[in-house]
Amino acid sequence: MSLARLSMCAERINRRYTDYSLLDAGCRSMELKPLLSGCRKYFGTDLIPTEGVLKCNLEERLPFDDNTFDLVTALDVLEHLNNPHGALQELFRVARKSVLISLPNMYYIQFRWNFLFGQGLSGKYRFRAQPILDRHRWVLSYNEALAFIYENSKKHSVEHEMILPIRGRTKVVLGPVEKWLGATWPDLFAYGVLFEITLDKSP
């Protein structure tokens, strides 16, 4: 499923932008980077640094000046934070043109099914014996994700699209059905949602 949000985000960026700088906040191991075709400068950050990735805590003020990057992405990141509202405003601050956000729908039918049969929603919610850094803080629905982004982006222009599962041989049959189900009952059949917030930085 992670490939769905990555490929959707990259396709949107490649279609709309060329010769841009990009901050990939919470980038893990920079899976988005090779999918970008017109990126002039890519900068990745994560709470847990790896080679080429700067350590950065999104709960704090970002170590960048205002309007440093043309684009900023945070894909399945905000649900990991205690203060996603403040983090979103920080992403807006350091971006010049646009911020792309993806959020999971934890009400998705597969997660409900897993929970019903005692498997837990996902590994990100396990109550582990030892403390961990990488965990979800919120169990959010599709409609809650929409409300969060639109309410906290009122100055800007927002577009969104559903994230649906990537299918192989069955996509010809299941694809149209899943699109219809997702449009009709998104809290149940949309895996997540991708937003592009085009910034209005006029005073």
Q: Which amino acid is residue 42, in one-letter code?
A: Y
Domains defined along the chain, listed by start: 2-105+137-198 (3.40.50.150)
Q: What is the pTM of this model?
A: 0.93
Does 169 score more than 80 pLDDT? no
The residue written with tokens 């980077």 in the block is 33
Work out the burial of residue 91: count CB atoms within 10 Å of its CB; fewer than 13 is exposed, 13-18 middle, 19 or more buried: buried
The reported pLDDT for the residue numbered 134 is 81
Q: What confidence category does residue 26 fall into, taking pLDDT thresholds of 50, 70 and 90?
A: very high
pLDDT value of position 1: 46
What does the pLDDT average to over 50-58? 92
88-105, pLDDT tens digit by residue?
999 999 999 999 999 999
Cα(42)–Cα(36) distance, rounded to whole angstroms? 9
At what angle are helices 142-151 and 84-94 packed, to 10 degrees? 50
pLDDT of residue 132: 82
What confidence score (pLDDT) does residue 2 get?
54
